[in-house]
Amino acid sequence: MRKSKPKKRVILPDPKFGEQIVTKFINNIMLKGKKNLAHEIFYNAIDVVAERTKEDGLEVWKKALANVTPSVEVKSRRIGGANFQIPTEIRPDRKQSIGMKHLIGFARKRNEKSMALKLAGEIMAAYKEEGAAFKKKRIRTVWQKQTKRLHTSDKNNKTQKSSESAFVSLFIDVISSEARKPSANRFLTTFGMTNNKLKWQT
């Protein structure tokens, strides 16, 4: 074990906007130590955002980052012989880090020609509460609400569901709320499970 806690590194503000959060974001963009390239990607993306939205590019980026930043996450807890996913609040620094990684990760998967255009596209989508990064946060939120509801219901009724039936019911609720019928059907077929009470909304 460590004898003492590691010292927290001091993060300097970026040269253009003078903000630490921008430096953190650029550090997440950087690959193989190429920080100058990461700076260029971010600043070009902000310029593209400002040009297309006719607003302050940095403020649009901050709003987009806030839209994809989760507030809670689920952690496994063993209660009465069964494992439950309990929603817990995330530390502010971890919350910010998760939001940045989601925004950058889904930007890399886009189809634009350059990384700057990909990042700009994902920032504008997140700003409008659209795009893959925002949808990721939404699915996590729905899942957390359903796990909390299941845990509360079991606690009040003093009954326990099997881990299989609990997981299936949660999966169906989350997937049906996102209108992804094929995914749910493939899941049930793969594990040999059926649910006669499942009625899809059409």
CA Rg, the chain, in Å? 21
pLDDT on residue 127:
93
Q: pTM higher than 0.75 for the full model?
A: no
Degrees (nearest 5) of the Cα angle 148, 152, 158?
A: 145
Amino acid at 166: A
Is 181 part of a structural domain of the chain? Answer: no
Is 110 part of a structural domain of the chain? Answer: yes
Domain with 115 in it: what CATH number?
A: 1.10.455.10
CA distance 114 to 107: 10
**Tally of domains within the chain:** 1
**For residue 127, what are the domain limits?**
20-78+87-131
| Three-class SS state of 100 | helix
pLDDT on residue 191:
42
Is 189 part of a structural domain of the chain? Answer: no
**Cα 15 from chain centre:** 28
pLDDT on residue 134:
86
Q: What's the token pair of residue 149?
A: 């509801």
Is 169 part of a structural domain of the chain? Answer: no
Is 125 part of a structural domain of the chain? Answer: yes
For the chain, which residues score pLDDT lower than 50?
Answer: 155-164, 168, 172, 175, 178-181, 183-184, 186-202
Q: Which residues lie closer than 8 Å to 134 by C-beta, 6 or more apart?
A: 67, 68, 125, 126
Is 33 part of a structural domain of the chain? Answer: yes
User: What are the pLDDT digits (tens) for 102-157?
Assistant: 999 999 999 999 999 999 999 999 999 888 888 887 665 555 555 555 555 554 44
State the helix-helix crossing angle for 57-68 and 115-127, rounded to 10 degrees.
70
pLDDT on residue 144:
52
pLDDT on residue 57:
92
